[in-house]
Amino acid sequence: MKLRFNITLTFLLLSGCLLAQIPALERIEPAFWWVGFKNPKVQLIVHGDKISASAVSLSYPGVKLTAVHKVENSNYLFLDLNIGAATRPGKFPITFKQAGKKDVVYTYELKQRNKSGQWAQGVTNKDLIYLLMPDRFSNGDPSNDVVPGMLETGLHRDSMYSRHGGDIQGLINHLPYLKDLGVTAIWMTPEIENDEPHASYHGYAVTDYYKIDRRFGTNELFKTYVAKSHAMGLKVIKDLVHNHIGTESWLIQDMPMKSWVHQWPKYTNSNFRDAAVMDPHGAAADKKQMLDGWFDKRMADVNQSNPYVQNYLTQNHIWWIEYAGIDGLRLDTYPYNDAAYMADWARKIKAEFPHLSIFGETLVWSVANQAYFTQGNTVNRGFDTQLPGITDAQIKDAITEALNGKEGWTDGVNRLYNIVAQDFMYQDATRNTIFLDNHDMSRFYSVVNEDFTKFKSGMAMLLTMRGVPQMYYGDEILMKGYSNPDGLVREDFSGGWAGDRKDKFTADGRDKQENEAFNYVRTLANYRKTTPALQTGKLMQYIPRNGIYTYFRYDAQKTVMITYNGGEKDAVSNAEDFKERTTGFTTGTNIITHEKLGNLKQLNIPAKTALVIELSK
């Protein structure tokens, strides 16, 4: 879910041209392509004034123009090209000829695919993801803060709904900070153009799929950011939005056809009820509203059953991966998408980039609801979604309950035990992204009522649990805030702007407790980075005893014991209770304090504290 706009927009059928005037050839997308893809087909979308009246021709060895599609709007053509396996890179003209008018010629280029081993390498359970909002992380280039001609030109750091000026250069400037923290992968909320009049700083109301928002930088700078990240051993995740599109997009202002987005007699929101998608007893009307209703009045619901839309989105995503060398994809609002299309999309992406990783946002209300959307689950569908992993909100909620709740049969630490016990529902739960908070929910430190002990325990569980851990920017320095009111979870990272009173990217700019938090996270994150048992090792958990929850991550080289006291009083844990995993081990080392433990049989665990112990013989 995103922050809702407080803007009213008259709901239109959007069937006519709303643009004042467009050139004879306004654009072709994708603007260039590559030779060597497994799928030889590419469909070009052509936009220009009455372009459908044109006769189209091209000539290039290995390239065939197999079809020219005219659609409802005469300002569009869709060109089907077939690129032979032996086609060489190069440029060639595409000519648009109309009687009585000068020919319009577009020079199209086919590039050689990048063969670097660093391209599309995948983000896995070996990684730690750092999520940030580019507008709120750091302003590295004040010259792009305000771009004349764009619909929102204000810059107001005192408003959560206005732009603050953060950009890609600001992130590049702080890559060493993330590397030092122990991060191995970076996920930015969408950085592509959101040219909406208000509150589109978050990036989820795209208006140009092929262009980085000029207030964040340029396509070339984004590519540079990926290259610099790779050079430092950091991977890059791109955030994609299949479900909706900003209403100021050229594709909405002058739609190719009425069926480009879902149309309703009057404005209709999604009901936001994911259960309607999977309910065997559900009403068709509820399912339709869930899938086809608009996300917001400024976010039109894209019609993914339209084959032109399908080609456009899939090709755009392939284009960005190949152009920039992205390693993983996060799919926004996954349950709201057309399931059959998303499965086809995933197959086509995997065919071209077999090592690329994909996970979908599923902010739903049970393990079963999450698992329903994942790869390998064909219940009620008859096909595989091909989605490897999801954002595991159930683990998030269970960790919070373990920290804040009181022990009960299914409450407190037992909630976490029971949620992990349901991993049988997934084809592979280790592909799920686990997290404590993100840009759409209250910050973790506030959720645990600014209890520093609970904060450390939550971080310990995040960085030792199965799956792909993801942190939200500023968690490591105890940033706080609630999602309601006013989106305070999206405050600026202090020190990211010239003139900030404190630079919390540095130890000198942080206070004592912030440094303790940073060092705690850094110690665990870097330990995880060098400990395969915490990445790909097996997990064994024990039923909680007297409010103490214990699990082990282990492989042939190492065994790590994580034990958490969810009670309100200090307690003692006995290793004899876990001898299936502790037999043969006589001592251990506290990973945070480096303290050697002389006796595993009597572990003193303070209230609400998690210990991470590497066992030794």
pLDDT value at 469 more than 60 = yes
pLDDT value at 15 more than 60 = no
Strand partners, 434: 469
Average pLDDT over residues 55-69: 98
Decide if 32 is inside a domain: yes
Decide if 516 is inside a domain: no
Decide if 523 is inside a domain: no
Q: Report residue 12's pLDDT band, with 50, 70 and 90 as the boundaries.
A: very low
CATH of the domain at 605: 2.60.40.1180
Is the separation of the CB atoms in 599 and 590 below 8 Å? Answer: no
pLDDT (tens digit per residue) in 223-279? 999 999 999 999 999 999 999 999 999 999 999 999 999 999 999 999 999 999 999
Q: Three-state DSSP class for 474?
A: coil
More confident residue, 419 or 115: 419
pLDDT value at 487 more than 90 = no
Q: Angle of helix 452-462 relative to helix 512-529, nearest 10 degrees? A: 20
For position 11, what pLDDT does the model report?
42
Domain end residue (candidates: 112, 130, 160): 112
Decide if 154 is inside a domain: no
Average pLDDT over residues 577-603: 91
Q: List alpha helices for 125-278, DSSP H.
A: 134-137, 168-173, 175-181, 219-231, 250-253, 275-278
Strand partners, 542: 550
Q: What percent of the chain has pLDDT over 90?
A: 91
Decide if 93 is inside a domain: yes
Domain total in the chain: 3
For position 116, what pLDDT does the model report?
63
pLDDT value at 17 more than 70 = no
pLDDT (tens digit per residue) in 396-454? 999 999 999 999 999 999 999 999 999 999 999 999 999 999 999 999 999 999 999 99
For position 20, what pLDDT does the model report?
58
Element (H, E) at 240: strand 235-240
CA–CA separation, 338 and 292 (whole Å): 9
Q: Report residue 113's pLDDT band, with 50, 70 and 90 as the boundaries.
A: very high
For position 579, what pLDDT does the model report?
92
Task: Catalytic residue, from 332, 392, 492, 514: name it.
Answer: 332
For position 278, what pLDDT does the model report?
94
Element (H, E) at 390: strand 389-390
For position 576, what pLDDT does the model report?
83
CATH of the domain at 365: 3.20.20.80
Residue 532 CA to its chain's centroid (Å): 24
pLDDT (tens digit per residue) in 38-50? 999 999 999 999 9
Strand partners, 391: 433
Distances (CA, A) of 330 to 365, 503, 510, 570: 20, 30, 31, 41
What DSSP line would sit under 68-123, residue for residue? EEE-SSTTEEEEEEEE-TTPPSEEEEEEEE-TTS--EEEEEEEEEPP--TTTT---
**Average pLDDT over all residues of the chain:** 94
Task: Catalytic residue, from 141, 193, 239, 361: name it.
Answer: 361
For position 575, what pLDDT does the model report?
82
Decide if 162 is inside a domain: no
Phi, psi of 109 (to 5 degrees): -125, 135
pLDDT (tens digit per residue) in 154-172? 899 999 999 999 999 999 9
Torsion of CA 280, 282, 283, 284, to 10 degrees: -50
For position 598, what pLDDT does the model report?
79
Average pLDDT over residues 294-312: 97
Q: What percent of the chain has pLDDT over 70?
A: 96
Q: How many CB atoms lie within 10 A of CB 557?
A: 9
pLDDT value at 3 more than 90 = no
pLDDT value at 16 more than 50 = no
Average pLDDT over residues 555-573: 96
Least confident among 10-24, 186-200, 342-356? 10-24
pLDDT value at 4 more than 60 = no
Residue 283 CA to its chain's centroid (Å): 31
For position 484, what pLDDT does the model report?
81
Domain end residue (candidates: 112, 144, 164): 112
* Domain housing 291: 241-391
pLDDT value at 574 more than 90 = no
361 is catalytic: yes
Quick one: tokens of 359?
Answer: 């996970």
CATH of the domain at 60: 2.60.40.10
pLDDT value at 219 more than 50 = yes
Decide if 417 is inside a domain: no
For position 414, what pLDDT does the model report?
98
Domain end residue (candidates: 358, 391, 424): 391
Average pLDDT over residues 578-589: 93
pLDDT value at 19 more than 80 = no
Distances (CA, A) of 296 to 1, 200, 442: 10, 12, 21
Decide if 170 is inside a domain: no
Q: How many CB atoms lie within 10 A of CB 172?
A: 17
For position 454, what pLDDT does the model report?
98
511 is catalytic: no
Average pLDDT over residues 318-344: 97
